[in-house]
Amino acid sequence: MLIVDAQVHIWGGGSPTNPAHRQVSSFSADDLLKEMDEAGIDAAVIHPPSWDPGADALAIEAARQHPDRLSVLGKFPLDAPESRSLVDGWKQQPGMLGLRFSFLQPHQQTWPTDGTMDWLWPAAARAGVPIALSPAFSAASFVPAVGQIADRHPEVRLSVVHMGRPSGSKDEAAFATLPELLALAKYPNVAVKATGAPSYSSASYPFENIHNYLHQIYDAFGPERMFWGTDITRMPCSWRQCVTLFTEELPWLSASDKELIMGRALCEWLDWKLP
């Protein structure tokens, strides 16, 4: 089974500003690959974190050196006029498969709806660039906005990071807006990254109190649009347990479902031609 992590970070510019992540000044591509080897992870998609200004360059260099193991969903300042010229040639960078945006600052959280991003969708459609969107702290307003974008721009492939769950929430509270997420399944151009699932449970492995939520997401989106992943540097368990949560603890997943969810479906979505 090909196992591809839909979201990891590497950095070298100081400790993360998010205290949930490992508080180390550097987590390099070599560090990442060592842990991937130990856990049996075949490949991973790097999302350059916002706390390190040099993370984008680190990610591209890592993907250049390890094209069969690492790729990138990059970013640029959405409100900078010069960014508008970047999309057409975006995927010409080594390992670059698309874009990923988080709206971590208060002034950014209206960007999907206030017109700031309106230029991006036709540009992404023209260039065939898939886009991942993270809810950050405002899932209640963010998830419906994704539906509006998907409806207006059906040719743009969108994925919702972390199942649309708000940062810092757990258990029932973390999934309070799950009905809004499930409603996005009607748009064939929307997928869900089931990344970081263990972090949304206060229970211990195998995190049984969130299994029903994962089942509902699977029922709505199917294995072709549900992508496993970790955000490993903030997980409360080992990388191997993040894998076995899906491969051993969810009996309603068939063998073919696991093949898709654990990596093949993500590669198809991003057009990552791995062996």
pLDDT tens per residue, range 97-139 = 999 998 877 777 788 888 889 999 999 999 999 999 987 545 5
Q: State the Cα–Cα distance between residues 229 and 67, nearest whole angstrom.
A: 19
CATH number of 76-270: 3.20.20.140
Q: Output the CA torsion sign for 196, 202, 204, 208.
A: negative
> What confidence tier does 140 reach under pLDDT thresholds 50, 70, 90?
low
The domain locations on the chain are: 76-270
Task: Give the pLDDT confidence of 204-254 residue by residue, as tens digits.
Answer: 999 999 999 999 999 999 999 999 999 999 999 999 999 999 999 999 999
At residue 228, the 3 state secondary structure works out as: strand
Mean of per-residue pLDDT scores for the chain: 94
For the segment 19-29, the average pLDDT, to the nearest whole number, is 95
Q: State the Cα–Cα distance between residues 259 and 141, nearest whole angstrom.
A: 33
At residue 222, the 3 state secondary structure works out as: coil
- The two tokens of residue 176 are 């309070």
pLDDT of residue 137: 47
pLDDT of residue 136: 58
At residue 251, the 3 state secondary structure works out as: coil
For the segment 155-180, the average pLDDT, to the nearest whole number, is 92
Q: Which residues contact 172 (CB under 8 A, 6 or more apart)?
A: none
For the segment 62-85, the average pLDDT, to the nearest whole number, is 96
pLDDT of residue 227: 98
Q: Which amino acid is at 147?
A: G
For the segment 54-82, the average pLDDT, to the nearest whole number, is 96
For the segment 70-77, the average pLDDT, to the nearest whole number, is 96
- The two tokens of residue 109 are 């959280």
Task: Tell me: pLDDT of 167 over 80.
Answer: no
pLDDT of residue 63: 98
Residue 181, Cβ density class (10 Å: 0-12 exposed, 13-18 middle, ≥19 buried): buried
pLDDT of residue 139: 57
3-state percent breakdown (helix, strand, coil) of the chain, nearest 5: 45, 15, 40
Task: Tell me: pLDDT of 169 over 80.
Answer: yes
pLDDT of residue 115: 82
Task: Tell me: pLDDT of 11 over 80.
Answer: yes
For the segment 177-205, the average pLDDT, to the nearest whole number, is 96
**90-108 as b/e: b if 16+ CB within 10 A:** bbebebbbbbbbbbbeeeb
